[in-house]
Structure 1
Amino acid sequence: MKFLPTPVSGAFVVEVDARSDDRGMFARTFDARTFADRGLVPVYPQCNVSRNHRRGTLRGMHYQAQPRPEVKLVRATRGRVFDVALDLRPDSPSYLRWASVELDAASCNAFYIPAGCAHGFLTLEDECELFYQMSEAYVPELARGVRWDDPAFSIAWPFTPSVISERDAALESYSQEASV
């Protein structure tokens, strides 16, 4: 596996070393020891799947607040998405910066998003599915989010979403008082 740094401190694009032959392809997508040796979270007690039917579906920008912020390891298992990590950690050198990666099921790449960062994605084609490995169990009372189009961040989405939930559309703009 290769860990490619991003503009967000502690966030990495994880690329696999795929082996292909006449049967198809094989790749190791996760190894706890490799992650631990790099100082990254090696244990994920919860996994989630997100299925999205239409191109232009936006989910985000979500995070879980203290005392149980989550690390996320996100991978597209079908389709392609524009995936974003937004640093909301006031003590981080990349505070209020964002990083993006195109997650593509064909490449088996993943995005390691550190605790304290908000996460969101925009589907680039119909019928996308994402698989999330989470370092913490979901706690509804700690669920938070910020607007995907907040001018405080100026995230360069590839196009305007056409599908967004009422909850995500109603998220507030960011303020330091509401930070993680």
Structure 2
Amino acid sequence: MTPKKLQIYSTPISEVVLIATQSHEDERGVFYRGFCDHELDEILMGRTIRQINLSITHQVGTIRGLHFQHPPYAEMKMIRCIQGCVWDVVVDLRKESATFLQWYGVELSGDNKLMIVIPEGCAHGFQSLIGKSELLYLHTKPYVPTAEGGIKYDDPSLKIPWPLAIAEISERDCSFPLLNENYQGIVL
């Protein structure tokens, strides 16, 4: 069996893309390529994957985010739901971006096998649509606690329509600030 090439789709947010892969299924189960650096050269542009993380969210309706890292530790993330289903959201915080302060949401699931690529300077969050949803994260920078940033998930200026009633959210995520009219964005 020869794995099929990854397919890359643009989104309304500058440099945020979706990656789809075809799977091979037979009597043994399913195989699909989760990541292939040489097929993503045009996206990675010399970056390397520095860490891989897994989050498991047990309760339907849980929100995590909206998170990012400040420069010089701003990171590109590649995120795939490997089990369950989430509504994944990206907010463009890059001051010089044509899509500054715009957001994009997409359903990621173990069934659709989509991966979202989120560039440096964008915030990320998600809401679990199914219990025990698992996300696999590939990061181009290590986690630096002092560089951690976030914006509040229900910021009225963004008007993100989370699809479900909020069942759970951490105190930390609730304490992130709202954007104000003077927000200057992230300069990379």
TM range (shorter): over 0.9
1:67 aligns with 2:84: no
Q: TM-score scaled to structure 2, two decimals?
A: 0.90
Give the one of 156, 167, 180 matched to 2:172.
Answer: 167
Q: 1:177, CA displacement in angstroms?
A: 4.3
% identity of equivalent residues: 36
Task: Give the letter aligned to residue 23 of structure 2.
Answer: A
- 2:58 equivalent in structure 1: 53
Give the one of 39, 43, 46 matched to 2:43.
Answer: 39
8 Å CA contact 1:13–1:101 kept in 2: the answer is: no
- 1:141 equivalent in structure 2: 146
Q: 1:13, CA displacement in angstroms?
A: 1.2
Q: TM-score scaled to structure 1, two decimals?
A: 0.94
CA displacement 1:69-103 (0-9 Å, x = unmatched): 01110111211000011100010111111111111
Task: Give the letter aligned to residue 99 of structure 1.
Answer: Y
- 2:129 equivalent in structure 1: 124
- 2:104 equivalent in structure 1: 99
Task: Name the Cα RMSD after superposition.
Answer: 1.4
- 2:32 equivalent in structure 1: 27
Task: Give the letter aligned to residue 96 of structure 1.
Answer: L
List alignment gaps of at least 5 residues for structure 1.
none
1:4 aligns with 2:9: yes
Partners of 1:21 and 1:105 lie apart in 2 by 17
Q: 1:117, CA displacement in angstroms?
A: 0.3
Task: Give the letter aligned to residue 108 of structure 1.
Answer: K
Q: 1:40, CA displacement in angstroms?
A: 2.8
8 Å CA contact 1:18–1:25 kept in 2: the answer is: yes
Partners of 1:30 and 1:51 lie apart in 2 by 20
- 1:83 equivalent in structure 2: 88
What secondary structure sits across from 1:35 in the alignment? helix
What secondary structure sits across from 1:173 in the alignment? coil
Task: Give aligned pairs, total.
Answer: 179
| Residues 129 and 73 (structure 1), Cα distance of their counterparts in 2 relative to 1, 3 Å cut | same
List alignment gaps of at least 5 residues for structure 2.
1-5
Q: 1:19, CA displacement in angstroms?
A: 1.9
